[in-house]
């Protein structure tokens, strides 16, 4: 005959005061442990998905170098996996993805910060000829003025600016069948440009019909005649083999920019301080390698374009600058806060 299982009632616990200190002591040990586990930073091995819209041959080497630097500095705790060519969506979708968690990281042009929530003032970064040269642009990116503009956008858009990872060669203009020597020569040209309002407005002022098309679809669009031309640096033009569908390359040097890495704020906040430090150091180290490679590649690319039948055209830039300046004066205080251009141009 089975014996009944003895039970201890709540009243029995109350009647045994010797057990209560032991229970309280146990809870003091267990509760903090549970809370620490629930809210501990992520330090187990994890994979972070990094999106970019450029064709993989163009930005892929930079993304790979950054991933290598991160893996080395975190001893394999963090793995950055790249998805180029718009695999994870367009630029606006990538920015939205940082907020929703669909994208962990993003490799993008600095000027695209204008597409982020609250990023209106960053329209000025893509203002044609706002920077005197690349040295001026780099000085601004390292200035308190840039950090002042960035801080509220990081908060509103839900991302962390990890760092600057590469210079970009200045933007040029290519066309399939028309040589451009002055703004009037662009009348009616369908030109693919980035989805940034400032470039759209200036292209219109130059007489072109700006047509935003995802970077991943650009080659085919030019091949099929959906657009007549596009704007990119010489390195990107050669890397994407646009010389196969374009004839003329006009050296306008009209936009100075670079590449940056952004990370979803939620993901960033879950990293340990050591991992965060590794990320920023990885960006800085990547920039040394990538910027050097960019300028070397841009110089070599001119020869590549010529060897593949493109004609390099050197227009007088004065009419282009004058027209752009007129547009920027009109947009000041409308497309960005009044005084933003002056802050940028004051940086030395």
Residue 217 sits in a domain of what CATH number?
A: 3.40.190.10
Q: Domain range spanning residue 245?
A: 172-254+307-322
Total of domains in the chain: 2
Choose among 190, 169, 312, 170: nearest CA to 249: 312
pLDDT for position 214: 87
Same domain (yes/no): 262, 114: yes
Check which CATH number belongs to the domain holding 115 and give it: 3.40.190.170
Same domain (yes/no): 128, 183: no
Same domain (yes/no): 246, 279: no
- Other beta carbons within 10 angstroms of residue 204's beta carbon come to 13
Same domain (yes/no): 148, 264: yes
Same domain (yes/no): 270, 142: yes
> Quick check: is 32 in a domain?
no
Q: Are 139 and 348 in contact (CB under 8 A)?
A: yes
Residue 248, Cβ density class (10 Å: 0-12 exposed, 13-18 middle, ≥19 buried) = middle
Same domain (yes/no): 64, 157: yes
DSSP states of 165-198:
EEEEPPPEEEESS---SSGGGGTT-EEE--S-HH
pLDDT for position 268: 98
Same domain (yes/no): 126, 236: no
pTM (whole model) above 0.85: no
Same domain (yes/no): 216, 278: no
pLDDT for position 37: 37
Same domain (yes/no): 195, 266: no
Same domain (yes/no): 195, 315: yes
Rounded Cα distance between 63 and 193, Å, is 23
> Quick check: is 283 in a domain?
yes
In 110-250, which ranges are E strands? 159-168, 172-175, 190-192, 209-210, 229-232, 248-250
Residue 1 neighbours by CB under 8 Å, 6+ apart: none
pLDDT for position 293: 95
> Quick check: is 1 in a domain?
no
> Quick check: is 20 in a domain?
no
> Quick check: is 2 in a domain?
no
Q: Which residues pair with 259 in a beta bridge?
A: 109, 166
Mean pLDDT by 10 residues, the chain (348 residues): 42 42 46 41 79 93 98 98 96 95 97 94 95 96 97 97 98 98 98 89 96 91 98 95 99 97 98 98 98 96 98 98 96 95 95
């Amino acid at each position: 005959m089975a014996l009944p299982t003895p039970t201890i009632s709540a009243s029995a616990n109350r009647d045994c005061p010797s057990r209560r200190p032991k229970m309280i002591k146990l809870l003091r040990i267990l509760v903090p442990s549970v809370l620490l586990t629930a809210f501990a930073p992520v330090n187990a091995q994890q994979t972070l998905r990094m999106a970019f819209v450029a064709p993989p041959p163009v930005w892929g080497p930079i993304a790979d170098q950054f991933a290598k630097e991160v893996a080395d500095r975190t001893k394999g705790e963090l793995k950055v996996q790249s998805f180029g060519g718009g695999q994870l969506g367009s630029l606006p979708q990538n920015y939205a993805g940082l907020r929703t968690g669909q994208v962990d990281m993003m490799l993008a042009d600095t000027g695209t910060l204008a597409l982020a929530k609250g990023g209106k003032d960053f329209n000025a970064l893509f203002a044609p000829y706002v920077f005197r040269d690349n040295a001026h642009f780099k000085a601004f990116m390292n200035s308190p003025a840039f950090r002042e503009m960035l801080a509220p956008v990081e908060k509103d858009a839900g991302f962390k600016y990890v760092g600057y990872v590469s210079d970009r060669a200045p933007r040029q203009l290519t066309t399939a069948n028309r040589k451009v020597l002055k703004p009037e020569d662009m009348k009616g040209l369908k030109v693919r440009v980035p989805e940034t309002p400032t470039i759209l407005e200036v292209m219109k002022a130059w007489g072109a019909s700006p047509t935003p098309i995802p970077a991943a679809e650009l080659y085919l669009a030019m091949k099929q005649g959906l657009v007549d031309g596009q704007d990119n640096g010489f390195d990107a033009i050669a890397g994407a083999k646009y010389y196969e569908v374009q004839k003329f390359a006009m050296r306008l040097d009209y936009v100075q920019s670079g590449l940056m890495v952004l990370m979803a704020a939620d993901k960033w906040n879950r990293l340990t301080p050591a991992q965060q430090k590794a990320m920023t150091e990885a960006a800085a180290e990547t920039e040394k390698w990538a910027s050097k490679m960019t300028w070397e590649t841009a110089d070599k690319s001119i020869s590549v374009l010529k060897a593949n039948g493109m004609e390099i055209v050197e227009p007088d830039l004065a009419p282009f600058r004058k027209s752009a300046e007129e547009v920027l004066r009109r947009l000041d205080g409308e497309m960005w806060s009044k005084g933003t251009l002056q802050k940028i141009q004051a940086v030395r």
